[in-house]
Structure 1
Amino acid sequence: MTTQPEPGDALQRGTSALVIAQAIRNDIQAGRLAHGRQLPGTRALAESWGTSVATINRAMSILAEEGLVINRARSSRIVHNPEVSADKTGSRVILIGGYAGSGKTELGRIIARQAGWAILDKDTTTRPVVEAALERLGQSPHDRESETYLTAIRPAEYEALLATMTENLQCGSSVIVTAPFIMELREKAWCDRLAATVAAYNGRLQVVWVRCDSETMQMYIRRRGAARDDYKIANWAEYVSRLDLAFEPKIPHAIVDNSAGARPLQDQARELLSKFTSL
């Protein structure tokens, strides 16, 4: 958001309140500053913009006259933009996790088709960039096991995915996010941050964990023939021994079973979506 300038873009002397008002107005109308959000105090804004308190006050007066900011006591101001905020039920986020080959992406696509919502799949969204980065670092583009991938690439991959989720929330759009989320969903602190991010934009969150038996996962992974799965296939017994097939996320969640003989995913997806949208 631009309640403060980008690094290296400090305001030049004489920059008017109009410029500051325009930047903050744009953030409000683009959803980066949500309806009801409290803005930083006058002195904090003046410091971040590299300008005077008087200039900030003039900018805030402009926005107040437009009805986009409500002035309160002691330089406290809140964003007022209800007409373009998400509807009263808020945007919806369905975050789907599961092991490789569990069927999480298929579940996400089924729900997306049923609901008409956007889908953000980690591999689809980030794989070309991940592969290019790994090659530049001297690794195989299909590496998903090395320390280089786990420490240098993976965190950025998930950061980009969740930033895209957040941008959809800011725009009032419901979205389905699919990725393994194995490390993330076992950490309560990460789960709490996820819930707080969704709530900050008046959203509602449903976390789903997809369970699947190891034989079905192996069959699916072999069938899709992705190079990134070569290590898993070549070392299947060792790989499966590291999986907790009874895993449950550290956040309220739903379980979908995609094991052999389970109910069709389409039926489970329809039931899940019906319950979630009725809340």
Structure 2
Amino acid sequence: MSESHERLSQPESRYQQVARNLRNDIEAGGLRHGEALPSTRALAERWDTSVHTINEAMRVLIEEGLVISESRSKRVVNAPDQNLRADLRTQAPHVVIVGGYAGSGKTELGRILARETGWPMLDKDTLTRPVVEAALEVLGLSPNDRESDAYLTKIRPREYEALLAAAEENVSCGNSVILTAPYLRELKDAAWVARIQALFSAKNATTSLVWVYCDPDTMNTYIRHRGAARDAHKLAHWQEYLAGVDVQFRPAGAHFVVDNSASSEPLQAQAREVLKSILSGGGN
């Protein structure tokens, strides 16, 4: 989970992908303890896969104790510790920047970190999407456009500006904060990383960078599952989009790597290890 993390997992099977994403949803609180899961057929339709694949994914989650089968047709989430959380109010604020490609699991990681700490999570899409969509329409573009020069040059910079401003406001109040966004341009720019670290250091806050790795097949599965309109262009031109995805990309400077695919540890376990290192002041 550190900068020296070199060995990355290989693409996993479809049932493992489904199990991993459902596990992440449970650990992030998207699926609640005691909640009944949709039927096998409904899950198969949602994930665009076979009933057999869903049954195999359920077998994995049942073996892990995250799902209980109450009958042939009813399975429920088993996560009694979801509401157990000790809010961490540190002497000096922490800023955790979580980046990754679309569908990598960065938002789920951010939610898990937020649940573990009680720190506010600021997600770029959640904070800015309604305004971004309105701005695109004013420019005569599709509200789902994320590829045009107009979006990339006129709107995208303002999204990240708003996200950063919200983080600064929290830090000024003494609050730690978790930021989630792709940060693809930003994290490859050593000068940007240095500026952000200096900005928050001046406010007595420590900045940590976390990159979420995920293999392309798993990213595709997750993107299709979430069904966001802004992803339509990616899915319709998947190979073209994939040509621009550098799975070996890592942020400039010290950082943590979380592996959200194949045989890697569950996301929650990795989140706790990253958090432990951040709080102990350990190097990335």
1:249 is aligned to: 251
Letter in 1 for 2:120: A
Q: Which amino acid aligns with 2:236?
A: A
Structure-2 residue corresponding to 1:50: none
Distance 1:241 1:260 in 2: 21
- By how many angstroms is 1:278 displaced? 1.6
Q: Distance in 1 between matches of 2:204 and 2:222?
A: 37
Instruction: Supply the distance in 1 between the matched residues of 2:172 and 2:129 (Cα, whole angstroms).
Output: 25
Q: Partner amino acid for 1:114?
A: E
Partner-residue secondary structure (3-state), 1:262: coil
**Bigger RCO of structures 1 and 2 (CA < 8 A, at least 6 apart):** 2
C-alpha distance in structure 2 between counterparts of 1:158 and 1:261, whole Å = 33
Counterpart residue number, 2:26: none
- Equivalent residue letter for 1:209: W
Answering whether residue 200 of structure 2 is matched by residue 198 of structure 1, we say yes
* Counterpart for residue 142 of structure 2: 140
Tell me the distance in 2 between the aligned counterparts of 1:155 and 1:172. 26
Q: Which has the larger radius of gyration?
A: 1
Q: Deviations over 1:199-252 (max 9, x none)?
A: 010001110000000000000000000000001000101111111101011121
Query: What's the secondary structure of 1:255's corresponding residue?
Result: strand
Q: Deviations over 1:33-58 (max 9, x none)?
A: xxxxxxxxxxxxxxxxxxxxxxxxxx
Q: Which amino acid in 2 is paired with 1:143?
A: D
Cα distance, 1:260 vs structure 2: 2.5
Could you tell me which runs of 5 or more consecutive residues in structure 1 were left unpaired when the two chains were aligned.
1-86
1:16 maps to none
Residues in 2 aligned to 1:123 and 1:173: alpha-carbon distance in whole angstroms: 21
Counterpart of 1:108 in structure 2 is: 110
Which of 216, 219, 239 matches 1:217? 219
Pairwise CA distance, 1:154: 0.2
Mean alpha-carbon deviation: is it higher for 87-96 or for 207-216? 87-96
Secondary structure at the counterpart of residue 134 of structure 1: helix
Any residues of structure 2 matched to 1:38-187 within 5 Å, and which?
89-187=91-189
What SS is found at the alignment partner of 1:260?
Answer: coil
Please list every run of 5 or more consecutive structure 2 residues that lacks an aligned counterpart in the other structure: 1-88
Partner Cα separation in structure 1 for residue 247 and residue 208 of structure 2 = 21
1:193 maps to a residue whose letter is: R
- The SS at the match of 1:94 is strand
**CA–CA distance in structure 1, aligned partners of residues 279 and 151 of structure 2:** 37
Residue 252 of structure 1 aligns with an amino acid whose one-letter code is A
The number of equivalent residue pairs is: 193
Q: Which residue in 1 is equivalent to 2:191?
A: 189
Q: Secondary structure in 2 aligned to 1:252?
A: coil
Partner SS state of residue 99, structure 2:
strand
Quote the Cα distance in structure 2 between the aligned partners of 1:222 and 1:187: 30
2:6 corresponds in structure 1 to none
Distance 1:89 1:102 in 2: 32
3-state SS of paired residue (1:95)? strand
TM-score computed with the length of structure 1 as normaliser: 0.68
Task: State how 1:229-244 maps to structure 2 within 5 Å.
Answer: 229-244=231-246
Residues in 2 aligned to 1:253 and 1:190: alpha-carbon distance in whole angstroms: 14
Instruction: Give 1:259's aligned residue.
Output: 261
CA distance in 1, matches of 2:130, 2:90: 38
Q: Letter of the aligned partner of 2:202 in structure 1?
A: A
Q: Which amino acid aligns with 1:233?
A: L
Q: CA deviation at 1:88?
A: 8.0
User: Does residue 228 of the first structure (1) align with residue 230 of the second (2)?
Assistant: yes
- Tell me the amino acid that sits aligned with residue 174 of structure 2: G
Q: 1:271 to 1:167 in 2, by over 3 A?
A: same
- Whole-angstrom CA distance in 2 between matches of 1:128 and 1:105: 18
Q: 1:247 is paired with a residue of what secondary structure?
A: coil
State the identity %: 58
Superposed displacement of residue 158, structure 1 = 0.4
**1:130 alignment partner, SS class:** helix
The structural deviation recorded for 1:262 is 1.8
Misfit runs of 4+, over 6 Å: none
Q: Distance in 2 between matches of 1:251 and 1:178?
A: 18
Distance 1:161 1:104 in 2: 15
Which SS does the other structure have where 1:259 is aligned? coil
